[in-house]
Structure 1
Amino acid sequence: MFIVPEREIADLMTRKAAFDAVESVFAAMASQDAYNFPVIREAIGHEDALYGFKGGFDKAGMTLGLKAGGYWPNNLEKQNVINHQSTIFLFDPDTGKVAAIVGGNLLTALRTAAASSVSIKHLARQDAKVIGMIGAGHQATFQLRAALEQRSFSKVIGWNYHPDMLPNLEKVATEAGLPFEAVELDQLGHDADVIISITSAFAPSLMSDHVSEGTHIACMGTDTKGKQEVESALLARATVFTDEVAQSVSIGEAQHAVSEGLLKESDVNQIGAVINGTHPGRSSDTEITLFDGTGVGLQDLAVASAVVELAVQKGVAIEVDF
């Protein structure tokens, strides 16, 4: 069995490698060559933490395993460690023996950013110039860096529940040579050609009447029953895509629109179908497209498998007799 510690991940996994792994696994899911297991995600009644398991099996990539972890909201202020904590376990699909244990914190950030980046590549207008960010925490910086590689953006605008965190976004924009402006939500929705929402909110911030025609929105924070980042009416206006339909309508952003009768499960499309060419994706420059990124176990397994292979090649994987 191999162990790849968290400390090694930054030198092994690039944004491009994460993007390629996530795009491939989305395509495999749409082709029914890979499937996710039901998600377990619960409040544990301690430290306001959410903890759970995501797993699956990719027959195309022969990757089997799970990610265990969750969200500890008090970590930064109490222990100076990030709020999201996770570990990925890979198993040999032929024997069931454990194959690898991989640090999952940075990989989770990279694979989540890769998912919204994949949606921008396949669904945003080609002439998109302004990107709007809702949320300015640790994950938002990964989202923005990945997104900026998908279009020739000329400006970044942002809003956050805590405005004092907006310099996190400004720093990334400056690194990319782009101007940054802090704006109110109505202006963000009006001006942005692409919007990424990455918060842990349980009430919507972005409203339908904020958003202009032709916008692509990636909702990346809703992964638990009750969470919500955008108004349900916005999903009713949009053509909705997701990583996993079952998760989208149960724990993703679509859960609210479905429960309110504004959207049917059959209205939600897999992003993998666009990648595979079996769904046309965006049909016009005025269409609003929305990607409901719920986060699937197969994303974690894909990036972890790639990391293990690289770690073995570079001699930094720790081999143990388990």
Structure 2
Amino acid sequence: MSDSKENHAPENHSHKNSLPVNKGVSVVSEAVCQEVMGRADAFTAVENVFSAMAKNTAYNFPVIREAIGHADALYGFKSGFDRDGMVLGLKSGGYWPGNVQKDLTNHQSTVILFDPDTGQLKSLVGGNYLTAVRTAASSAVSIAHLARKDSKVLGMVGAGHQSTFQLRAAVEQREFEKIVCWNFHPEQIPKLAAVAEELGLPFESVTREELCAQADVIITITSAFEALIDKDWIKPGTHIACMGTDTVGKQEVDAKLLAVAKVFTDELAQSITLGEAQHAIAQKLIQQSDIVPIGEVINGTKTGRTSAEDITLFDGTGVGLQDLAVASVAAELAEAKGQVTYFNL
């Protein structure tokens, strides 16, 4: 790996306002999204939208998420408008826990984009692959801006579907020399180990405490409802990206950890209500003012890490604008390559 990986995304493409006009509604399939949307473009899209959010030129609208009373499914909408990128739309979908028995991804979603000038439907974009890519890009952005430059060991807490995306995106941000992993279901770990082997990195399955003792950067990507990481296990200088907590009641790390860390987030409103910070806020261990939107760090209006001893924590709750940003880029890349279909209402 070269030093260029510390310069965030390998490339910085500009895709704004390049979709065709008067061709009807474009449809971008899951397969096409996987073909055209790479990690560099996802990183840039997510970093840009975090920047716009911090400038108040991009807005997430209130999230709707409900149990539908069938198939144990959760279903909802995330929507917003990015005035900088001129992207308007919503992601519709949710979580079907029984899908794994049907050889389907538990998370199912579609992104719907509209023309912000007219309100006309513009694109329908498959959202399953893009959800994993944008979540991985979010943690990668946090590593790029908050982790120590000399970070050598990456710890993965979680080895499910999204973990492989997280691993691939993370290793492009620092010169990692080893991957350590813990997962509640050990039988899932070999899949992540195979990705590490493909990347040429040593991989070790360890206990949670040992993971924290070794890791300079930790990514938690689980569906836990209890703290998996104890505050006293974390060594000075660690960066933690908490990417699994996106619902009231979920939790991945000790709430007391947030009291000793510098805490950053994608969106403050979600962080304190349904993100990892919800527990520290409820226990009055921290205040809302202690949490910094990562867009402020990207824009240079707030400081991130100030010393090698800082513990930094990114509360990645997942916001609709991330989905819209990557879907818009995917649609433009697919159109440029002639890989979209069109229809008229």
Question: TM-score of the superposition, structure 2-length normalised?
Answer: 0.92
Does 2:238 align with 1:232? no
Counterpart secondary structure, 1:186: helix
Does 2:107 align with 1:89? no
Does 2:277 align with 1:254? yes
Within 5 Å, which residues of 2 pair with 1:1-322?
1-77=25-101, 79-322=102-345
Contact 1:135/1:199 (<8 A) preserved:
yes
Partner amino acid, structure 2, of 1:151: R
Contact 1:41/1:224 (<8 A) preserved:
no
State the Cα deviation string for residues 254-290 of structure 1 (Å, max 9, x = none): 1111011011111110001111111120011111000
Shift of 1:307: 0.9
Contact 1:113/1:143 (<8 A) preserved:
yes
For 1:290 and 1:43, the matched residues in 2 are separated by 30
Contact 1:219/1:229 (<8 A) preserved:
yes
Q: Which residue of 1 aligns with 2:20?
A: none
For 2:66 and 2:242, the matched residues in 1 are separated by 21
* Most deviating of 47-56 and 302-311: 47-56
Counterpart secondary structure, 2:289: helix
Shift of 1:46: 2.3
Partner amino acid, structure 2, of 1:144: L
Q: Which runs of 5+ in 2 are unaligned?
A: 1-24
State the Cα deviation string for residues 42-97 of structure 1 (Å, max 9, x = none): 222322222211111000011000001111122112x1011111100001111111
Counterpart secondary structure, 1:24: helix
* Most deviating of 312-321 and 286-295: 312-321
For 1:115 and 1:152, the matched residues in 2 are separated by 18
State the Cα deviation string for residues 96-150 of structure 1 (Å, max 9, x = none): 1111110000000000000000000000000000000000011001000000000
Counterpart secondary structure, 2:325: helix
Q: Which residue of 1 aligns with 2:7?
A: none
Counterpart secondary structure, 1:48: coil
State the Cα deviation string for residues 169-191 of structure 1 (Å, max 9, x = none): 21111011111101101111111
Counterpart secondary structure, 1:57: strand
Counterpart secondary structure, 2:286: coil
Partner amino acid, structure 1, of 2:100: L
State the Cα deviation string for residues 3-54 of structure 1 (Å, max 9, x = none): 1111211111001000010001111111111010111122223222222111
Counterpart secondary structure, 2:155: strand
Shift of 1:203: 1.1
Equivalenced residues, count: 321
For 1:255 and 1:249, the matched residues in 2 are separated by 4
Partner amino acid, structure 1, of 2:203: F
State the Cα deviation string for residues 230-257 of structure 1 (Å, max 9, x = none): 1100111111000000010011111111
Partner amino acid, structure 1, of 2:63: V
Counterpart secondary structure, 1:138: coil
Query: What percentage of aligned pairs have identical amino acids?
Result: 62
For 2:269 and 2:132, the matched residues in 1 are separated by 22
For 2:145 and 2:154, the matched residues in 1 are separated by 16
> What's the RMSD between the two structures over aligned residues?
0.8
For 2:209 and 2:290, the matched residues in 1 are separated by 27
Contact 1:67/1:300 (<8 A) preserved:
yes
